């Protein structure tokens, strides 16, 4: 009987992470409503948080040196609802917090997925946004042009801002060869959703109306140039 009990305990500890709760946007939103006592935790940087966040969220940067100490100050009796930009950092933070005894629920797809579903936001700064695209116009241009590179960006996104001059430079070099479409994430959620984009920065490459490449994350200029060459068919 003792061996049987130990076996059950071992299995429970081994498979426990498999039962980690990761909810889609709608379910996560319902969880917020159903558990008003829960701590809604945003583990992005303060800069990201300052660009907009879920209503009533608390910000503790997962990458900061003091994250673990800040977490130790929280009440373990309260459930935690956690998110980051796209789900990577929040998954790591949730794992750490569960090891400390917290009950944690993650938002699948993070802040980006939340915004593509047009869910409520708080703290969005009053910056001047670029003109929003009409979905039909965007799809027509992307599919009717011979070579297209689509740049999905946000004005709160540091990697996006760093790449902007490089994208502009390449757009000039490939004038007449490649059509560059810039889509600001804020205000174009319908296009992000239709394109399956849930991370910023992201790029789509079309050649003769066909999507041939989809990539996310920061790219140095030589890697950005590869996208333009793929669009023209210079490289496969």
Question: Is 84 a catalytic site residue?
Answer: no
152 forms beta bridges with 183, 202
| Catalytic choice (157, 183, 191, 204) | 157
| Catalytic choice (80, 107, 148, 160) | 160
Place of tokens 């116009």: 137
HEC letters along the chain? CHHHHHHHHHHHHHHHHHHCEEECHHHHHHHHHHCCCCEEEECCCHHHHHCCECCCCEECCCCCCCHHHHHHCCCCCCCEEEECCCCHHHHHHHHHHHHCCCCEEEECCHHHHHHHCCCCCECCCCCCCCCCCCHHHHHHHHHHCCEEEEEEECCCCHHHHHHHHHHHHHHHHCCCCCEEEEEECCCCHHHHHHHCCCCCCEEEEEECCEEEEEEECCCCHHHHHHHHHHHHCCCC
Burial string for 188-199 (b: 16+ CB within 10 Å, else e) reads bbebbbebebbb
Q: What are the catalytic residues?
A: 157, 160
């Amino acid at each position: 009987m003792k061996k049987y009990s130990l076996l059950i305990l071992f299995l429970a500890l081994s498979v426990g992470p498999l039962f980690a709760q990761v909810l889609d946007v709608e379910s996560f939103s319902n969880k917020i409503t159903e558990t008003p006592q829960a701590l809604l935790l945003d583990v992005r940087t303060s800069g990201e948080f300052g660009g907009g966040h879920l209503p009533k969220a608390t910000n503790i940067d997962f990458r900061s040196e003091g994250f673990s100490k800040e977490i130790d100050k929280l009440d373990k009796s309260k459930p935690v609802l956690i998110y980051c930009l796209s789900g990577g950092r929040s998954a790591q933070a949730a794992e750490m917090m569960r090891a400390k005894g917290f009950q944690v629920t993650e938002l699948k797809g993070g802040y980006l997925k939340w915004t593509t579903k047009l869910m409520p936001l708080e703290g969005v700064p009053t910056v001047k946004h670029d003109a929003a695209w009409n979905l039909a116009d965007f799809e027509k241009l992307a599919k009717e042009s011979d070579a297209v590179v689509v740049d999905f960006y946000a004005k709160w996104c540091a990697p996006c801002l760093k790449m902007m001059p490089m994208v502009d430079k390449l757009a000039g070099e490939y004038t007449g060869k490649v059509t560059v479409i810039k889509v600001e994430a804020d205000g174009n959620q319908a296009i992000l959703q239709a394109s399956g984009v849930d991370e910023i920065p992201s790029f789509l490459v079309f050649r003769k109306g066909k999507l041939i490449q989809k990539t996310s994350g920061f790219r140095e200029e030589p890697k950005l140039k590869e996208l333009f060459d793929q669009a023209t068919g210079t490289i496969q």
